[in-house]
Structure 1
Amino acid sequence: MTGSAPLPVSAGPSGRHGEPAPPSEPVDPALAEAALLTEVERLGSVAVAFSGGVDSAVVLAAAVRALPHGRVVGAIADSPALARDELALARRTAEELGAELVVLATDELSVDGYRANAGDRCYFCKQTVLGRVSELAAARGLEHVATGTHLDDRSAPHRPGLRAARELAVVEPLADAGLTKAAVRAVARHWGLSVSEKPGMPCLASRIAVGLTVSRDRLHLVEQAEARVQATLAEHRVNARDVRVRLLDRGFRIELDAPALRLAEARPGLTHALLEGVGAVGPMGTGRLGPYSSGAVSTSAAGSRTGSAGPAREEPAP
């Protein structure tokens, strides 16, 4: 890792959707692009751990631009923790980028530490996923495995998934080129990527409160519940950027971004429809609405959120 200095971006308070606040001075996308392409070109060949999100999409797009044909492949891990619509979107995005995408079947649920969900689940997930991508890279004769980790990710106080990446000697071209999240989005806009404004979408397991066992049934329940919330909001003509259904030990919480939550709370009929719709998906107990925020939750009925330095963080996909 080269550890380049961050591109000039003014600091600010925490932003919405669990991302750093937008910079007070705009990022120069040409400068960010040049730094990233230089970093990727020096790799020679790479398998990109791809999730379909903006971070890994920018890495894959950079690799397609900077490296020879046949020296780049994208790889996405397909497991019960990946929503079907996210897999479909990832396929479309890779096609848009002109990149080969290999879908790797992974079985994180076979790993005791992952199922236990004790606060370090992301370590076991990344260990499994990046291990499979490393196997693909070796089989293809590719020198490196890269993730979409950016500079802001490195400064987070507790990211067990990053520890797994370090152990596997995975490269982080965004961070190494000095790109923050704001710079990543600036480059994505500069390149006209369709996912440039896509909100973060961690795996379905991130919706299961710390301390509750991760199971195939619970993952399916979360996926169906969030789909039901999205459908109900669409029926009521409410556009929500961020939607989560969190499973707690004695119920569930529907989390919406601030504008959508205000609309839902002002319309009792919509609130009732949301709670009733999720409740009809399966045995989930009593539910309530709440504000969206990234991060893991405890198993309490209130679902109090762990601190950023605590044992759990909602991590992005690789």
Structure 2
Amino acid sequence: MSTFVLIHGAGDVGWYWHLVEAELRARGHDVVAPDLPCDDDTAGLVEYADAVVAAIGDRTDLVVVGQSLGGFIAPLVCARVPVDQLILVAPMIPAPGESPAEYWSHTGWDVHGDFDDWFYQDVPPELAAEARRHGRAQSEARLGEPSPLTAWPDVPTRVLICRDDRMFPPDYLRRVARERLGVVPDEIDGGHTPALSRPVELAGRLDAYVSIPVLIRTFFAAFASGDDLDERLGALRRAFLPGAIIVRTCGSEPEVYDVEGFIAPRRALLSGDGLTGFREWEVTGRTEVYGDVAQHFCTYAKSWTRDGAEHTGRGAKTMQFARTAAGWRLSAVAWDDER
């Protein structure tokens, strides 16, 4: 399981994440949600990042999540500690050396409206009132200072935008994500504060972002030469739903397998004589999640040696996933080899 490092936005506290934290812990994850010193005139982005790094301590398997202004702090944290994944939620997406104060003009957006209209339009009134009581004044004393970010961290990054966000409307954030990170963002319903308005959905999305890649790696790792073949194939069996189907096309009439019908001949091939050094790996891929279902489309490459001759190949796979009481599982796989 992962440790989620949840970074709140401007004028807020770690309490913002409390509903999401409970959901993630129920799914077996650890959570860190520190308070940033946002009301301290002596604190800038470096001190904000210091507070997060101190809260992490010696935890590992980190997934850093930055909300709104937290998007300025999250990449600074990733530059200081080993991180598996960076997720930006309804975020500001900084350029290297950019200050938060410059962000609006640099990205071509003029925020207008009132506080409640920006933040709490879809939050239950009692919860919104509690959020206001927890909130703190955001110091602007050092928000004009350039960010110490010199380059985007070499960490897999996802952007999750909210379709009803009035602070950062979807069209605006789609453009900024494309221009600054070259990514197509994922989307959920809701306004600017989904940790309060849609905590179950948001926690489910965060859980999927870390759980589904594990299943994908398990799939690719299973089909490789090596002494631990049975152990890897056992892990693959556990990754599938019992009734999952696997479809092979490869230029002919599709062949449809159940899990055992798929695994058995490949085990025989990988453990037999003549084939050595087989492996396959993902080249490009994208996962889309909606509620308790997800899909992953990827291209892949493979290489092997048969009877002393080296071979290579490429193809594409599509994988479907469903969330169960025991977590995410593979429900279907289909693939086609390049011809």
Question: TM range, normalised to the smaller chain?
Answer: under 0.3
State TM-score, norm by structure 1. Answer: 0.26
Higher helix share: 1
Q: TM-score, normalised by structure 2?
A: 0.25
Larger Rg: 2
